[in-house]
Structure formats: structure tokens, C-alpha cells
Amino acid sequence: MVATDFTQITTFNLGFTFKDSEEDFYILSHHLMIPVTCALIFQDQKVLAVRRSQSMPLGGFWEFPGGKIEKGESPESCIIREIKEELGIEIKLGELLPASDHAYSTEKVIRLIPFSAIIHSGEIKLHEHDQLSWLGANELFEVTWAPADIPIVSYLKEHWISIINGIK
Ligand SMILES: Nc1nc2c([nH]c(=O)n2[C@H]2C[C@H](O)[C@@H](COP(=O)(O)OP(=O)(O)OP(=O)(O)O)O2)c(=O)[nH]1
């Protein structure tokens, strides 16, 4: 028997662990969680946010550019590929930052894996999003973030200086 009540999730570390009424634990397969990478791209003491266009799921929400990890791909290769596809630029990766797990529904649970980054080459051109904004530390909450991004944005605000210094 497999419980599907996501309010009963007890850990995300190895896929999902559920507790049912008999106090037994069940591990669901990893495929239920969708790993997504995103890049916090810094330039001139600001970070890049992009708005999902209406044709995308979660259209209208702001996010950090990125996308789903493909089979056999490392998070690092994924974010470099996604940024090239979405923005047409090459980035230099900084550090891996704490991930955010978010259940949009019982079928859609994402693990959002952020990297700090700077632009290595190229000029940004939006291929999928409909707006971009460069946000300073005190402007971070001026846009409406996708719910999964909120913990990441809060972490970024709290660690702004050390994250920026870490990437120079
Ligand atoms: N890229 C990205 N996706 C995010 C963020 N926050 C957030 O909730 N998401 C969600 C939106 C989507 O449901 C999912 C990522 O999907 P996506 O559409 O960007 O992925 P993808 O580029 O690989 O798209 P596709 O191949 O499925 O079309 O994660 C974020 O900051 N960046």
C-alpha cells in the first residue's frame, strides 16, 4: 500500500517516505520528484529574475532561469545547457546553494537546485520567458516568485554578501 497524502511526507532525502496509519514507512520511487536546476546570475550587484510566459506552466510567475535535469545529466551540465537554451549565454558557475522542495500538487513535486553564476560570454536574449529584471538585495521581493523559489530568495537575501563575494 502506498500513501499519497503529501502532508505526511517525513523526509525528502531518498525520494519520499510516508507513514500510514499502521506506522509503517513506504518509500516511493524517486521519479515522483522532479529535479530542476536554476541559476542565480549576478551582474553589477544584482541578480537576474525572469518571468514565465503565459504559454508555460506557472505562467506569470517569476523564477530563476533553468529547467529539468535530463536522464544521465549532472545538475551542473543541466544548468549550463538550460541557460544556453533559454537565454543564449554561457555562464560560469559559482557554488551550489541549498535546494528547495515544493509540492505543487500530489503529482508535481519539484526539487529546485540553485547555483550562483556569472555571465561568461554572450548577450541575454529571452527565448522562453517574456520579461527579465535585475534585482538588488532590497528589491528581491518586488516580483511574484514561483512558490518553490521563495525559500531560495529568502536564503539569497540573508546570504547576499557572501554569495556575491563567493563568485568573484
Ligand atoms: N527553471 C525553473 N523552474 C522553476 C523555478 N521555480 C519553479 O517552481 N519551477 C518549476 C516550473 C516548472 O514546473 C518546473 C521546471 O520546468 P521548466 O518548464 O522550466 O523545465 P524545462 O525547461 O526542462 O521544460 P520542459 O522540457 O519540461 O518543457 O519547475 C525556477 O526558479 N526555475
What is the ipTM, given to two decimal places?
Answer: 0.95
Specify the DSSP class assigned to residue 155: H
Specify the residue with its C-alpha closest to ligand 1, atom 12.
Answer: 57
Give 45's contacts (C-beta < 8 A, 6+ positions apart).
Answer: 136, 137, 164
Ligand 1 interacting residues, C-beta cut-off 6 A: 36, 38, 56-58, 63-64, 66-68, 82, 110, 112, 146, 148-149
Residue 4 confidence class, pLDDT cut points 50, 70, 90: very low
The full set of domains in the chain, from first to last, is 38-167 (3.90.79.10)
Specify the residue with its C-alpha closest to ligand 1, atom 13.
Answer: 57
Q: pLDDT tens digits for 54-96?
A: 999 999 999 999 999 999 999 999 999 999 999 999 999 999 9
Q: pLDDT tens digits for 138-151?
A: 999 999 999 999 99
Distances in Å between the Cα of 85 and the Cα atoms of 22, 124, 159 are 48, 11, 28
Average of per-residue pLDDT values in the chain: 86
Pocket test for ligand 1, best of 36, 101, 132 (most atoms within 8 A of CB): 36
Ligand 1 center–CA 136 separation, angstroms: 23
Specify the residue with its C-alpha closest to ligand 1, atom 5.
Answer: 63
